[in-house]
Chains A and B, each alone.
Chain A
Amino acid sequence: MIKTQGLTKRYGGLTAIQNVSFEVAKGEVVGFLGPNAAGKTTTMRILTGYLPASAGSASVGGFDLAADPRGAKRVTGYLPEMPPLYPEMRVHEYLSFVAALHDVPRGERRDKVARAIASCGLEMVGERVLRTLSKGYRQRVGLAQAIVHDPAVLVLDEPTSGLDPIQIAEIRELIRRLAAEEGRTVILSTHILAEVEAICQRVLLIAFGRLRLDARLDDLRQQGSLEEVFVREVELAAASRPDAPAHDVAAASVEVST
């Protein structure tokens, strides 16, 4: 469902990601793990058609992002790091608007919005104005807008950042359910190891803009503690970077706790 080949993105002189290639099969739930500023958001923004790649190619659902971005966008649901909400809108109005942007026919919009509201546990706040919602509920609305048009692929950028532990548990449960529900393909980014363990079957480890590891969690567990594997990989990545300043190694360690 998702395929990237030699994906590279440069911002001026800065290379955010370099030569990132991976494939995600239908129905897989993949964690995109990496320290902050590793290139997770950049990769996701390319996959969702927000940014063009400097080199390499990416396709989602068989649609090449460069050749047919609208096709790719139609099959993708995306939750950016900051949920893109309009604070003055009501929850159901907002979801209906997002559905319209994604070409959901007028007649089906009401049903789809109702389903997204039910899936994300928003029944109690459907009439509320987004500005008045708590952070946890905003995140749920963010997830609801990502699934309202029934996309085959979900791209979630740090879906639990900034939430309290109970909200984190709820959102993780929700993501697990949304993934299982329709056999959706999910790629989610995080810098929290436990999150990957809780939700994903497979992990892509990215550090300093390069893909360091692409493995199934089950296989990794046999190599010892996940924590050790990840810390080792990130440190190797930092060390192999010729221009890496010493303090980057410490800054790059993966957060292990929730």
Chain B
Amino acid sequence: MRFLAVDDEPLFLQLLETRMQGLGYPDLTKVKSGAEALTLLGVDRGFDCLLLDIRMPEMDGITLCRKIRALDGYGATPIVMVTSMSDRSYIDDAFAAGATDYITKPLERIEIKARLGMIAQWDAQTKMLKASQMQSPLSSYEIEPNYNFEDPITLPNVDRLISYMAMENYLLTLGLKTTTTLRAFAVHIENARSFYAHPKRAAFVDMIGDVATVVLESLKADNVVFSYAGGGTFVCIVRGEMQEDIEDVEVATNLYMTGFEEFYADENLPNPIIHFGSVVKISGFSLSRPTRLPELAIAAVENAVFKSSRPRGKLQVI
């Protein structure tokens, strides 16, 4: 795997290089500023993972992360923030800017081993998929069409939609205590399978992108982290209070979607039928894990769709 690290402290770059060599990741390119990184990434699209410091002079790591996400070829590449900044606001901003993971300094060998191991596994799976990919037209969201219905595919071109891996890492970085202050709900597309089964494979990804854009537009909120969990289901993590009533958002979303009817009809496809699940949270007394929150939200929407009994409008504390 090819890594690029950006940090204005040369000793930290040396330290990182030594640690990574010891863990079996010898291919590390080091640069000292965001400007240098952008110049390099503009001509070299072959890096598999980017490691960014947050606090740097001139261009901070969060701005750099956002700029990298806009570069050709780096929409879905894992970006790991490696930083001393452990305040909640930095974590929120980093993931909102497109970060995949967040490691705090000082650098513990065991932690970097675990986090890079996860990225390496993801990278190997992605490369395997690319290698076995069938020739098929790409959708306008530029994702390879070789995936299963249940896969939490990443759509790099949808603004504010983060990968499911990044959402899980966000919750793990915040920890269980902070996660108990968050709320979550899931959004399920009832007829998603008919899009997946369509001969034009890109139809499914295009529809997922359309729904994501419309839901985010309907939410009218900045305090959310939104991700596609696979199987036609999205998860939305809400920081703080829900600004809109969930039923109103569901109505608005389905109404917006009627504007797409013509496009879907051209492909002999139905309009997506979208359901919102109850808003859930983890109890403050829970001995759960942070990643239980999206699982609970998914269970709530499945319950709402499949059992047709949706006790919505009130918060479920589990």
Asked if chains A and B come from one complex, the reply is: no
